[in-house]
Structure 1
Amino acid sequence: MAKPKTKRQPANAPSRLADSTAYFCGQWIKRAEIGLSVDDIGFLQGVTAVERMRTYSRNVFELPLHLKRFCHTACHLGIDSLPDEARFTELVSELLTRNAVMVQEQGDVGITLFATPGRAGSPSPTISLHLNSLDFELIDRRMREGQPLIITDVTQQPDQTWPRSLKVRSRLHYYLADQFASRFATDAAGVLVDQDGTITETSLANLAIVEAGEIISPLAEQVLAGVTQQVIEMIAIKQSIPWRKERIDVERFHSAHEVLCMGTTTGIWFASQINDGEARTPGRVYERLRDRFANDSPDV
């Protein structure tokens, strides 16, 4: 099992990223050359299945779970003629191999996979796989100091629009929530609410509260099924920390002993403040989960 590490990026990381090799519609090209046609349905109507992944110690974190979710999303959106999970696994491996020097220099990298139905009238989907740099200073700061959360009145879309189990690029609601939150603190994340006003998630994180040593997170149907949360749940079981799922109202969220944040880029971190409430420090449950995640996170 890989131990998550954070290594500082070199000063020229952004320029190296532009020169990195990416997969686009069956070809290996420079990342900077990726271009989505204005006639692509992904641009015209925002129909895009996406997965954002990362490496820990140069191993892709929970790749099978990410690919399973990606294929579920693509299938629901009707994006056909995609490679199967085995082929995507090969492409991810080749992506890292082709960019081995940059990966070695940066230590760890982010990976983005996306697909659209392609151009209107075309039978071929648009597929891309490319690297992203990781902001290790921000990651370290969030793990040490937490992140402010601002509860907004931006609501999640109903399942009749599209199920929340899908990871798509239609993220206007997340953007609006974060824009609202940024008025209060630069690094704040906006918390979206459900139709009944209960807490759901942020643009980058699944959320959970801690009450008397027990973890409570929103119902599965209220949020995207986060890969990192699934791993944290398994760690909690091994640590004999109770975990249940139910609707969480705003008042309960405010008064929780701890608020946990879980997402791909940072792993696990905590809420340092909720709205204009008192500043929060790392809690005992968070520290236990963070330490076990750092030592026991599965890799592939």
Structure 2
Amino acid sequence: MVSQREPIAYLNGELVPAADAMIPVSDMGFVHGATVTELLRTFHLTPYRLEDHLKRLERSAKRAHIPWPQTQRKIGKAALEVAMHNGQLIASDEELGITIFVTAGPNPTYVGPNAERGGIVGVHTWRLPMGLWAEKMRNGQELRTPKTRAIPVDSLDPTIKSRSRLHWYIADREVRAEHPKASALLLDHEDHITETSTGNFFIVIDGEILTPPETDTLPGISRMVVQELAAELGIGFRFTKLHRDRIREASEAFTSSTPYCLMPVRSHDGHEIGSKCPGAVFTRLMKAWSDRVGLDIVGQIVRA
């Protein structure tokens, strides 16, 4: 029985109490991390770019050879129902993060060859922890290059958004062992920049936004928004290979990720980027994004 006073989740066609939403230890999503996933957020407690996230989820499932069990429309409806219910349980000035996932189903070694097949489709929400990003939004974040490299694209397609994130976890712990407030910016095996554990990376050189190629990184929904906003604002935007040394040429840098949208980067490997953080391009982009959604995104975070 689902109570109106407790958060709910969606699991394989049913709305259940969030506390009861779990997957079996025999599922390949747990055993192998064979799960494709999406993380979206709300503005004014309304899911943002839901259709884009669902398209990427289905594309990830197909590329990961995970059976697509339901229609985008059905999963989208479930996401809206869960968000609407759970949004009533938090303050009106707070926002939700929404996670959608699809697993590969039972591991035959654990459950036997004749067990019922089929993966798990789930949706759950969580309150966005705005205070987590307040200091970095005000003063910029510190990025460091770890020894851990990005997985080669011929080993794992980086355009798949999955739960297989161990190398990113290791990379972040590696840099934080010496620099507790830093995050990892991974390179490929030719010293080209890829992405962070949570989002895409951008630098600004001569007023133009540069970001690593679409084939080498996750096709971020927030990156898509940056590209749209840049076009509206008349700011150049280009996908290109970026050697790590190009960061030294940049007047500013920032990352994109669904929960915080954009975050300025103050330094990389101990070297300050530009003369001001946040920079002018970052500020223009965030103002335009805020105008789109009718909410001061930076203010919402720094006031938390």
Cα shift at 1:28: 1.8
Distance in 2 of aligned mates of 1:233 and 1:159: 23
What residue identity is the alignment partner of 1:79?
I
Distance in 1 of aligned mates of 2:196 and 2:69: 29
Question: Which of 222, 240, 243 pairs up with 1:249?
Answer: 243
The question of whether the paired residues in 1 share the 8 Å contact of 2:153 and 2:216 is answered with no
Equivalent residue, structure 2, for 1:295: 291
Cα shift at 1:298: 9.3
Distance in 1 of aligned mates of 2:180 and 2:22: 31
Instruction: Give the % identical residues.
Output: 27
| Structure 2 residue 81 is the aligned partner of structure 1 residue 97 | no
| Structure 2 residue 106 is the aligned partner of structure 1 residue 119 | yes
Distance in 2 of aligned mates of 1:287 and 1:81: 40
Equivalent residue, structure 2, for 1:148: 142
Distance in 2 of aligned mates of 1:275 and 1:33: 43
Cα shift at 1:106: 5.9
Count of aligned pairs between the two proteins: 282
Q: CA 1:125/1:244 → structure 2, altered by over 3 Å: closer, same or farther?
A: same
Deviation by residue 1:32-91 (Cα, 9 ceiling, x = unmatched): 222221211111111110101110111211111111000011122222252111111111
Distance in 2 of aligned mates of 1:248 and 1:199: 6
The question of whether the paired residues in 1 share the 8 Å contact of 2:45 and 2:87 is answered with no
| Structure 2 residue 170 is the aligned partner of structure 1 residue 176 | yes
Gaps of 5+ in 1: 1-17
Cα shift at 1:154: 1.8
The question of whether the paired residues in 2 share the 8 Å contact of 1:19 and 1:32 is answered with no
Distance in 1 of aligned mates of 2:93 and 2:285: 26
| Structure 2 residue 226 is the aligned partner of structure 1 residue 239 | no
Q: Which runs of 4+ in 1 moved over 6 A?
A: none
Equivalent residue, structure 2, for 1:285: 281
Please identify, of 18-27 and 242-251, the stretch whose mean Cα deviation from structure 2 is larger. 18-27
Distance in 1 of aligned mates of 2:239 and 2:142: 23
Gaps of 5+ in 2: 109-115, 296-304
Equivalent residue, structure 1, for 2:27: 40
Distance in 1 of aligned mates of 2:93 and 2:15: 21
Q: CA 1:185/1:294 → structure 2, altered by over 3 Å: closer, same or farther?
A: farther
Structure possessing the higher relative contact order (Cα contacts under 8 Å, 6 or more residues apart):
1
Cα shift at 1:153: 2.6
What does residue range 149-298 of structure 1 map to in structure 2 within 5 Å? 149-278=143-272, 281-297=277-293
Distance in 2 of aligned mates of 1:103 and 1:62: 21
The question of whether the paired residues in 2 share the 8 Å contact of 1:194 and 1:222 is answered with no
Cα shift at 1:110: 0.1
Cα shift at 1:103: 4.1
Distance in 1 of aligned mates of 2:133 and 2:61: 30
Measured on the aligned residues, the alpha-carbon RMSD in Å equals 2.0
Q: CA 1:208/1:100 → structure 2, altered by over 3 Å: closer, same or farther?
A: closer
Cα shift at 1:278: 3.1
Distance in 1 of aligned mates of 2:241 and 2:153: 17
Alignment TM-score, normalising by the size of structure 1: 0.88
Distance in 2 of aligned mates of 1:139 and 1:48: 27
Query: What SS does the aligned partner of 1:180 have?
Result: helix
Equivalent residue, structure 2, for 1:12: none
